[in-house]
Amino acid sequence: MLFKREMKDKRSRKIAFLAHCLINQNSKVQGVANFPAMIDPLINLLKKHKIGIIQIPCPEQAELGIGRPLGDDTKQRYDTLSYRKTCSKISDDLIKKIKDYQKNNYKITFILGVNGSPSCGVDVTPVRKGSISVLSKEKGVFFEILIKKLGKNKIKIPIFGIPETRKVGNLKETLKKIEKIV
Ligand code: SF4
């Protein structure tokens, strides 16, 4: 007799973890949403490859609420002890979820952050230099913490940054790169 969890059904057993605003642009700071609701071309890719979505909680919203002001929008603005604690807690919850899926034979295809975000930047993050904000090749506060914790837990999953604006990358090219590994 088969246990329930071994029974065959239609599930793909493929899952991706997405930064919150990639499927809910309403969570972004005022003035920086580029789509009405979701990053539609990304959702099409996920549908095409039958990949389920786990929406990562938005750490900025968890810390400062939906009405947070744009401010200087740099990594330094968010680099506080309290914010790091919030990011750490979200990361621990995600790692627990990832381990549970992996233990039960699900494939975590990739994790997606947001290039250009001071929190979820993967390759490019705005940092304060003197009195101005410049783009730097580094991770945002949240993804820096998440990636360190994944490493400590020996979890290897491809991670990509979806460009927030044209200034930090090309969405089409990024999706092509992602599609190569699914
Ligand atoms: S990039 Fe990260 S912190 Fe910024 S709105 Fe999206 S999920 Fe929230």
All structural domains of the chain with their residue ranges: 12-180
d(CA 117, CA 127): 10
pLDDT for 2 beyond 60: no
DSSP states along 58-78:
-HHHHHH-TT---TT--HHHH
Per CATH, domain 12-180 is 3.40.50: yes
Q: What is the pLDDT of residues 109-118, one digit of tens each?
A: 999 999 999 9
Q: State the chain's mean pLDDT as an integer.
A: 95
Q: What are phi and psi of 153, to 5 degrees?
A: -90, 10
pLDDT for 66 beyond 90: yes
Q: Is the CB of 60 under 6 A from ligand 1?
A: yes
d(CA 180, CA 182): 6
Residue from 160, 68, 58, 147 nearest 114 by CA: 160
pLDDT confidence band for 170 (50 / 70 / 90): very high
Find the 116 Cα to ligand 1 centroid distance in Å.
10
pLDDT for 5 beyond 80: no
d(CA 78, CA 119): 7
Q: Is the CB of 27 under 6 A from ligand 1?
A: yes
From 17, 60, 144, give the residue whose CB has the most ligand 1 atoms within 8 Å, as the site to mutate. 60
pTM of the model: 0.95
In this prediction, residue 72 carries a pLDDT of 83
Q: Is the CB of 114 under 6 A from ligand 1?
A: yes
- What is the chain's Cα-based Rg? 17
